[in-house]
Chains A and B, each alone.
Chain A
Amino acid sequence: GAVVSQHPSRVICKSGTSVKIECRSLDFQATTMFWYRQFPKKSLMLMATSNEGSKATYEQGVEKDKFLINHASLTLSTLTVTSAHPEDSSFYICSARLSGQGDYGYTFGSGTRLTVV
């Protein structure tokens, strides 16, 4: 089945530094990937839709200069948290959908726990 690999699973960084999170579709091509942020005991908040070869579409209230998304190939999307601050600490999850697989929903990465100290 469709597999999405997300890396790293955990990262601790200092305030002011940037962190890159990778999301790869391993056995399928994903023209569209989604990035979510999840706070403890909260729902997943859609941050942006990543489109291969074009600019990402950001949800209202998400700073595009803060959360840089690049979808340079059909199998890789990256989220870079720039100049990270402690309030950016969260669980970030990517997902993709295998086109044509109508009954399989979306495939999610295993998530990245970001802690900014």
Chain B
Amino acid sequence: SQQGEEDPQALSIQEGENATMNCSYKTSINNLQWYRQNSGRGLVHLILIRSNEREKHSGRLRVTLDTSKKSSSLLITASRAADTASYFCATDRESYIPTFGRGTSLIVHP
């Protein structure tokens, strides 16, 4: 069954704008990860945030984690057309098996 669920399912913005995606999950986690997938390709790991962390940055990416609400957000600042992709959150179940949500499809218009 799905553990993480991303919201919105689709997001369309203009280049330069910020993109925010949310992820909700159901059970306790060890960590939460965000991945990017270009069409027809594998997933690329973007960032991992541990359950005892609240915020993490990596370049133009900012991830927050609220374990009390069982939610996380991914913010991409100053978006570029090359950021167009699907973004997935994944949580580690027991035995560190990642479980994925349905993803957010992001389109950045040049």
Contact = CB atoms under 8 A, between A and B. Distances in A.
Q: How large is the interface on A (under 10, 10 to 19, 20 to 34, 35 or more residues)?
A: 20 to 34
Instruction: Please indicate which of the listed interface residues A4, A107, A108, A111 has the most CB atoms of chain B within 10 Å of its own CB.
Output: A108
Grouping DSSP codes into helix (H, G, I), strand (E, B) and loop, the B interface class, with mixed when no group exceeds half, is: strand
Contact of A110 (B41, B101, B105): B41
Contacts, number: 56
B98 A109 contact: no
B105 A105 contact: no
A103 B2 CA distance: 23
Nearest to B99: A46
Interface stretch (B14-22, B42-50, B64-72): B42-50
A49 B93 CA distance: 13
B45 A43 contact: no
Interface residues of B, number: 23
A30 B11 CA distance: 36
Instruction: Please indicate which of the listed interface residues A103, A107, A111 has the most CB atoms of chain B within 10 Å of its own CB.
Output: A103
B41 A111 contact: yes
B40 A44 contact: no
Interface string B74-110: 0000000000000010100000111111110100000
Given A34-B98, A103-B48, A107-B45, 19 more contacts: A4-B42, A43-B2, A43-B100, A43-B101, A43-B102, A44-B43, A49-B97, A91-B40, A97-B96, A102-B48, A104-B45, A105-B35, A106-B33, A106-B45, A106-B90, A108-B42, A108-B45, A109-B42, A111-B40
Interface of B: 2, 31, 33, 35, 40-45, 48, 50, 88, 90, 96-103, 105
